[in-house]
Amino acid sequence: MDAAAAANAINTPARIAAWLGQIHAETAGLTRFEENLNYSADGLRATWPKRFPTDAAVQALAHNPQRIAEAVYGGRMGNDNAGDGWLYRGRGMLQLTGKDQYAEAAHWTGLDLVATPALAADPKSAAVIAGAFWRVHGCNALADRGDTTAVTKAINGGVEGLAERQRQTTRAALIWR
C-alpha cells in the first residue's frame, strides 16, 4: 500500500486518511477483497430496492451469489455475456465492478484483469489498482477539499455507506495528522 500510495501522490495526511477510510469501508476493514453477494431476501430488497420490487424476485435469488451477481450486474457495465456479472463482480480494495471497469484498471496498471479478474482480489494487485483508481478519478483533489461525499461518489457511484466512510476517514486522520 505504501508503494501504491507513493506512486499516485497519496502523500498528505488528508489524502492518506481519505484513501484509507474508503478502503476500510469497501473491504470491511481489509477483511474482504471480494464482494459478498450472499444476500437474504431482506438484504436484496434493502440493497437494490428498484431491482427487486417483489417478494417473488428476491425469494428466487436469496442466498445464491452467482444468480444475484447476474441479476444485478449482468447486461450492464460491459458485462455482455452470460456469467460476466459473476466473473466481474466487485473485487479489490476499491471494489472494481463490471468488465468495463476491469478493462479500465487493466489499462492504468498493466495487469491483465480482463483475462484474470481474480487478480483484482490479490492484496498486492488490489493496492496497485486502488492507487491508480484514486489518481485517475481525481480523488486527491477531492480529499484535499475534505469532501468525503465527493470521494465516495467517485469510488462508489453514489453515497452507499457514507457515514461509515466518514467515520473511517476521521479515524485515519487521527493517526495520519
pLDDT of residue 74: 96
Question: What would the pLDDT profile of 17-47 be if each residue is shown by its tens digit?
Answer: 999 999 999 999 999 999 999 999 999 998 8
Listed as ranges, residues in the chain with pLDDT below 50 are none
Are the CB atoms for 173 and 14 separated by under 8 Å? yes
- Residue 41 buriedness (CB in 10 A; 0-12 / 13-18 / 19+): middle
Look at residue 110 in the predicted model and tell me its pLDDT.
97
DSSP string, 148-169: HHHHHHHHHSS-TTHHHHHHHH
For residue 47, which phi and psi values (nearest 5 degrees)?
-80, -40
The predicted structure's pLDDT at residue 53: 82
pTM greater than 0.75: yes
